[in-house]
Structure 1
């Protein structure tokens, strides 16, 4: 009755070819595991993933279960939520069809899909690895306050999924600590930082033509109003550093207005990862602003891309956060409290060349997609993916 058809199922709603960093990484993970195991992928895409993989000579031997996506990152929030709800029952049905021995599931989307993986594994006596790339519902509650009863229910559901996993993967010590504290889980927790986009050549070969860059989501968590005020004050005082902003989000208009007002500021909007990464690599410094509270539940994905691009990092966050410790203890750059006057002071120090960072991208090779895949493979392989039921 419970005979398994596949050794491993990889669940990630956004996938290759649309998601060019984590989606590409999950496809490479599937390809690597398929060398020795029977692997299927459960994802959501506007494309027929099985056909697309065949056309691009990717994913040989992998079975793709792909539900139709009708939204993207620029779609209305309600349409994106609807897509996520459609994906959830599709995941359970696909798992029942594939009957994998082991499931690798991440927080894409969060809470409900990992809980579905738990239900499948409970019913079919399988195991799963849970990769928390951010922690919900807490981080959602910061952006959009959730009804208290619903918040409590989602938290309980996620705690069940965490406690029953074979192991957990997450991004930082602060996130691991919060997971243990909230769920009371006593299972292994592995730390793996999200990968960066592969530039295709060493960043040291690229000329540093500009000063400071921000690349990523200009959302509610990235302290954009504080950053805009600080940059405007610095420029009004006669500062002449150049600033480049790449990305979109709810605060994009503030960045656009700043660029229109000051010639030293450029706002390029959203760019594809390959083009954005090359622009980042042309800058000496990169901005990494994040609300302190958020560092317990997430870690900025652009941090590794900045290192690969050989940028010094200017973190804007409290000194006691995991982000500040990661930047300063590893010699990647400096951090400053999210206060306008303190940011202005640091900008002047950078302009006057009073801040020295010896080797900002040391050990940056550990943040490549290849290393990310190798780390996850090393966790999944000891899970006895092949068993007596084959």
Structure 2
């Protein structure tokens, strides 16, 4: 049925109708309520002056949701059926990515956009076909590196060396031929320059977060920790689970709340079943996640050190708006640790079970001094707003450098 609807969408367009601008990103609203919402607003704003289309994967019926909420006016959507989630096996996700890549090729040939925005969702293959299309049809593209691949993937599952070199070469080719690149941190910018040799300008734009306002502020803030986000392969979840078990086994009194999916969701659920001080809320909405984060004194931000050269945790911006202090679990020299300390958002602890247990205990008895941390975060909240993010995208793609 979904294929028939997609064909109807295609056939409703004039064969030679060329679009001004295309946004290509597998993840989209409403399933991904932060970046998906930002891209939807960006598409809506762009459609006011340009003929705009969006290519994305559909998990929940995008057209029905757009109609229900009165969104997407002036934007043409080309949704591709999503077969997997972040918790799916790697082989299934590869097949799903290949299918989406073919869908992107078909849409590009049909719409022939003059300018394309493409991100690393999914990485390498889809940006590569965008580059090839732009070369063939004298179009231009902006490449948004939310992650740097294949390096980020190689941290999770070591790739065959030959395959790794081929993917790295292909992604470097995409970087060198882009009109402009966008990424998240200076560390990621340095990696891009070092391995691609690109001469394209690189804009730095931090990922946004949604503020649900003071109405969501919890009446009671629990002494403990929240974790809202993907419990995936890069978040040190096994280490965190072991540390929590040891801490609670020694009589620790702090509480732990988890929300989100991912490959380690079942392990977190099992932890919650063994310990009444641990609660697993499953996959929740962005509003529910914001409420949960506001309800705990601390937010957990675990990340593999190596991957911070190639990515930055998306949940970090949400913690800023929640008001929770951040406990970053990573090396002190990483971009994540420097972001936490330079903005006075929390503390950093090395990724070790003993170090984590010791930190939990110090927090419980009040030995961690938090008086010098920033509780208002007004400047940072402004910089991480959806409006600022969209404005920065507009400037980076259509005009000049973004606002910092």
> Normalising by structure 1, what TM-score?
0.91
Cα distance change, pair 83–200 in 1 and its aligned pair in 2 (3 A): farther
- Flag structure 1 segments of 5+ consecutive residues without an equivalent: 384-390
Match among 365, 371, 380 for residue 388 of structure 2 = 371
Q: For residue 351 of structure 1, report the CA deviation from its aligned partner.
A: 1.6
**Are 1:380 and 2:394 an aligned pair?**
no
1:212 aligns with 2:225: yes
Measure the CA separation in 1 of the matches of 2:393 and 2:133. 22
How many residues are paired up?
Answer: 381
How far the C-alpha of 1:128 sits from its partner, in A, is 0.8
Per-residue displacement from partner, 1:327-384 (whole Å, max 9, x unpaired)? Answer: 001101110111122222222221222321532451223222222212111212217x
CA gap of 1:58–1:303, structure 2 versus 1, over 3 A, is same
**Residues 1:4 and 1:321: Cα distance change in structure 2 (over 3 Å):** farther
State which of 28, 35, 38 in structure 1 corresponds to 2:51: 38
* Separation of aligned partners in 2, 1:127 and 1:361: 41
Tell me if structure 2 keeps the 8 A contact 1:308–1:365: no
Residue 187 (structure 1) aligns with: 200
Q: Deviations over 1:121-155 (max 9, x none)?
A: 11111111100111111111122221111111111
Higher mean C-alpha deviation, range 236-245 or range 288-297: 236-245
Once the two structures are TM-superposed, the CA of residue 165 in structure 1 deviates from its matched residue by 0.7
Q: Aligned equivalents of 2:252 and 2:162: distance in 1? A: 50
Q: Give, in angstroms, the shift of residue 266 of structure 1.
A: 1.7
- Does the Cα contact within 8 Å between 1:54 and 1:60 map onto a contact in 2? no
Q: Which of the residues 334, 355, 362 maps onto 2:369?
A: 355
Q: 1:20 aligns with which of 23, 26, 33?
A: 33
TM-score (norm 2): 0.88
**Residue 278 of structure 1 is aligned with which of 291, 296, 302?**
291
Distance 1:70 1:108 in 2: 15
CA distance in 1: counterparts of 2:332 and 2:178, whole angstroms: 33
Offset of 1:36 from its aligned partner?
1.8
Moved more, 343-352 or 247-256: 247-256
* Residue matched to 1:196: 209
- Conservation of the 8 A alpha-carbon contact between 2:221 and 2:297: yes
In structure 2, runs of 5+ residues without a counterpart are 1-15
Q: Distance in 1 between matches of 2:223 and 2:121?
A: 35
The Cα RMSD (Å) is 2.1
CA separation of 1:132 and 1:360: change in aligned 2, threshold 3 A:
farther
Specify whether residues 159 and 206 from structure 1 end up closer, same or farther in structure 2 by C-alpha distance, changes over 3 A only.
farther
Partners of 2:24 and 2:215 lie apart in 1 by 32
CA contact (8 A) 1:40 1:62 kept: yes
Q: Which runs of 4+ in 1 moved over 6 A?
A: none
The residue aligned with 1:291 is 304
Q: Which of 295, 302, 317 does residue 304 from structure 1 map onto?
A: 317
For 1:229, the equivalent position in structure 2 comes to 242
Distance 1:229 1:79, change over 3 A: closer
Question: Are 2:173 and 1:132 aligned?
Answer: no
Is 1:174–2:187 an aligned residue pair?
yes
C-alpha contact 1:115 1:161 (8 A) present in aligned 2:
yes
Secondary structure of 2:143's aligned partner: strand
The equivalent position to 1:69 in structure 2, one of 75, 82, 85, is 82
Counterpart-to-counterpart distance in 1, 2:176 and 2:185: 19
| CA distance in structure 2 between the partners assigned to 1:197 and 1:128 by the alignment | 27
Indicate the residue corresponding to 1:121 in structure 2. Answer: 134
Distance 2:261 2:64 in 1: 31
